[in-house]
Amino acid sequence: MKRTKLYLLVASVVFCGCVFCYGEDVPEGYYFEPGTVNSTMTISQELAMKRKNGTSEGEYDDKSFHFPEREIKRGYKLAETGKYKEALVIFHKNIQHDEELMKQDKYTLGDIYYIMGYCYGKLGNKANLEKYFKKSLEVWPECQTPLYELGLFYKQEGRIDDAIEIWERLLKINGAHDLALYEMGLIYEQRGLLSQAQDYFKTAAQLGNPDAEKKVDGSDWKIRSN
């Protein structure tokens, strides 16, 4: 699967006259690349759809707590333009509330936690990447973007069983998630379970995943030999 080029960022920078110090130092040589070219836009679209559906049920009518929309959008923009540390300063500032209170705006909170994990991942902070992806899913368990990308992180870390568990959870929510299907196929292929791998590849190919199509049409020697 084609992915955008990986970037390695330094462990700390001076921001607004002080050293940015949220989380751990960046481990030397560590890289993380989320599975989508613009993950923040992907989850924002998911959030917008959920809000639209939630509003029709009155879910957003009676909240006493709202995150400041302009400030949060500024954080999103900074994250999208690669200013991850500056974005994290904004997000940390805006989550200094009781979590139960913030859960009144739970989809925004889940979104913020995901973007924080995304930023930490781009900065190479593995511990906080996992921490905030998990916090996002605690607040918004069915959100597909952090589920998919947490699986990618586990796979990169060699935690294959954890990746399988998280992608199986994702596929229960959305059985047509072609990227998760393709990744599951790769895992089973690497384990030599070619029949199971081909089932995942075929389903992903039917959904239009081009990498899965190559596996199914015989261009990949492992599948062709099965």
Query: Do 135 and 121 share a domain, yes or no?
Result: yes
Q: How many domains does the chain have?
A: 2
Q: Is residue 115 part of a domain?
A: yes
Say yes or no: 169 and 206 in one domain. no
Q: Tell me: do 117 and 199 sit in the same domain.
A: no
Angle at 137 between CA 132 and CA 97, to 5 degrees: 60
pLDDT for the residue 99: 84
Residues 98 and 161 in one domain: yes
- Region class of 104: left (phi > 0), else alpha (psi between -120 and 50), else beta: alpha
Tokens of 193: 């379970």
Residues 221 and 170 occupy one common structural domain: no
Model pLDDT for residues 123-149, shown as the tens digit of each residue: 999 999 999 999 999 999 999 999 999
144 shares a domain with 160: yes
| 87 domain residue, yes or no | yes
Do 107 and 6 belong to one domain? yes
Instruction: Judge if 92 and 203 occupy the same domain.
Output: no
Arithmetic mean of pLDDT, 97-119 = 90
60 domain residue, yes or no? no
Is residue 47, in this structure, part of any structural domain at all? yes
C-alpha 118/C-alpha 29 separation (Å) is 18
Question: What pairs with residue 18 in β-bridges?
Answer: 15
Q: What is the mean pLDDT of residues 167-186?
A: 97
Pair 26, 43 in one domain: yes
- 113 shares a domain with 43: yes
pLDDT at 12: 25
**Residue 39: inside a domain:** yes
Q: Which domain holds residue 10?
A: 1-55+65-174
Rounded to two decimals, the pTM is: 0.72
Q: What is the CATH number of the domain that holds 74?
A: 1.25.40.10
d(CA 11, CA 28): 8
Rounded to whole angstroms, the Cα distance separating 28 from 20 reads 18
82 confidence band (pLDDT: 50, 70, 90): very high
183 lies in the same domain as 125: no
Asked whether residue 80 is assigned to any structural domain, the reply reads yes
Helix boundaries (H) for the chain: 39-56, 69-80, 84-94, 99-102, 106-122, 126-139, 144-156, 160-173, 178-190, 194-206, 210-216, 221-224
Indicate whether 193 and 161 sit together in one domain: no
Find, among 46, 39, 97, the residue nearest to 67 by Cα: 97
Say whether pLDDT at 177 is over 70: yes
